[in-house]
């Protein structure tokens, strides 16, 4: 039997329970005066309790029409509570309340079920105080957390899935590949954050490996102690160096391409116009056959200046003599 059929039966049962036949007292009558208090004569034949009253035992010797009662109101018999709050209510200590295995929702008592337990209607699925948004529903006869929520604490709570950068309480809450919980959801080692999709993507392992996004290639832009942002890109589906970068080192990484005489910080950056690997000397790129080389840009070049100056002075003296 499907959920809708069960709900329909419950509604029909409620209608019958509230119908006049269930309020029938059993007294034969011709006029209202023949009926007990709070009852009237139907069809000059039998007595029926008025709306808002239910026929029940008043005491050990007397039956009559008792006023229906709601949660917290005074009662004598369970049926006074059942008529307004359902069969999972009771008259306890002279007051209407839900039974120990039920809870109150929308002024009715529903049998309580937690995530994974059997249910008939959504109201069975009870996770404590209701929030503005229902977190559990009855799906195919079982209580289930709503979409993008998952159960915790033996089915007594539903916790919203967390995405990259959001607070989390355990690993299960971080929904999506490559995520782990460190107070907030972070990308695991060897995974990187892709901001456009707000998700983690796996880093490639080497230049030339397949990729989808530039960020997957970032690990090969320079080294961990000397980053070179933007020097590695995902082009045509593989990780490669940018047009203004060169691959160097073992394993290969992408470094900004620097020509002889340009400022540098590492040997890997330096290459001649003929693509001959160079080296960084005194903060400038040079190579064995480069011209100009680093000695033309400070540092070592200061060592060669005195002979040049002396030669210039001697030349001037020679000219004056003539």
Task: State pLDDT tens for residues 57-89.
Answer: 877 678 889 999 999 999 999 999 999 999 999
Q: Is residue 180 part of a domain?
A: no
Structural domain total, the chain: 1
Coil, helix or strand for 2?
A: coil
Higher pLDDT, 322 or 303: 322
Q: Is residue 128 part of a domain?
A: no
Residue pair 56/66 in contact (Cβ under 8 Å)? The answer is yes
C-alpha span between 26 and 291 (Å, rounded): 119
Q: What is the pLDDT of residues 209-261, one digit of tens each?
A: 999 999 999 999 988 788 888 999 999 999 999 999 999 988 899 999 999 99
Q: What is the pLDDT of residues 111-132, one digit of tens each?
A: 999 999 999 999 999 988 766 6
C-alpha span between 34 and 47 (Å, rounded): 8
C-alpha span between 15 and 225 (Å, rounded): 76
For 223, the domain range is: 190-299
Q: Is residue 122 part of a domain?
A: no
Q: Give pLDDT, residue 10.
A: 44
Q: Is the pLDDT of residue 177 over 50?
A: yes
Q: Give pLDDT, residue 79.
A: 92
Best CA proximity match to 71, nearest among 113, 110, 15? 110
Q: What is the pLDDT of residues 279-308, one digit of tens each?
A: 999 999 998 877 655 555 544 433 333 443
C-alpha span between 215 and 239 (Å, rounded): 10
C-alpha span between 175 and 105 (Å, rounded): 31
On average, the pLDDT of the chain sits at 83
C-alpha span between 5 and 121 (Å, rounded): 11
Q: Is residue 214 part of a domain?
A: yes
Q: Is residue 99 part of a domain?
A: no
Straight-line distance from the first to the last Cα atom of the chain, in angstroms, rounded to the nearest whole number: 124
Q: Is residue 141 part of a domain?
A: no
CB-based burial label for 99 (10 Å; 0-12, 13-18, 19+): middle
C-alpha span between 108 and 104 (Å, rounded): 5
Residue pair 41/29 in contact (Cβ under 8 Å)? The answer is yes
Q: Is residue 75 part of a domain?
A: no
Q: Is residue 65 part of a domain?
A: no
Q: How many CA atoms lie within 13 A of 158 on its CB side?
A: 24
Sign of the CA dihedral running 300, 301, 306, 308? positive
């Amino acid at each position: 039997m499907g959920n809708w059929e069960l709900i329909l039966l419950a509604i029909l049962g409620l209608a019958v329970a509230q119908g006049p036949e269930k309020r029938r007292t059993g007294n034969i009558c011709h006029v209202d005066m023949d009926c007990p208090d709070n009852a009237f004569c139907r069809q000059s034949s039998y007595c029926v309790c008025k709306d808002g009253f239910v026929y029940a035992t008043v005491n050990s010797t007397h039956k009559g029409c008792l006023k229906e009662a709601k949660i917290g109101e005074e009662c004598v018999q369970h049926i006074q509570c059942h008529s307004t709050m359902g069969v999972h209510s009771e008259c306890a200590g002279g007051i209407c309340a839900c039974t120990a295995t039920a809870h109150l929702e929308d002024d009715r008592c529903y049998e309580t079920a937690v995530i994974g337990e059997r249910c008939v209607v959504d109201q069975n699925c009870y996770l404590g105080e209701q929030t503005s948004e229902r977190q559990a529903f009855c799906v195919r006869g079982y209580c289930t957390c709503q979409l993008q929520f998952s159960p915790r604490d033996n089915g007594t709570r539903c916790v919203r899935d967390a995405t990259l950068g959001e607070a989390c309480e355990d690993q299960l809450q971080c929904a999506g590949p490559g995520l782990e919980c460190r107070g907030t959801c972070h990308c695991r080692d060897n995974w990187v954050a892709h901001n456009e999709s707000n998700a983690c993507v796996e880093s490639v392992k080497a230049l030339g490996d397949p990729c989808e996004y530039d960020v997957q290639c970032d690990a090969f832009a320079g080294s961990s102690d000397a980053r070179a942002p933007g020097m590695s890109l995902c082009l045509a589906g593989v990780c490669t160096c940018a047009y203004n970068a060169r691959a160097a080192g073992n394993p290969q990484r992408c470094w900004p391409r620097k020509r002889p005489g340009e400022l540098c910080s590492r040997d890997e950056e330096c290459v001649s116009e003929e693509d001959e690997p160079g080296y960084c000397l005194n903060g400038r790129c040079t190579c064995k056959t480069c011209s100009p080389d680093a000695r033309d840009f400070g540092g070592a070049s200061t060592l060669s200046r005195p002979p040049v100056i002396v030669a210039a002075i001697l030349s001037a003296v020679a000219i004056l003599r003539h």
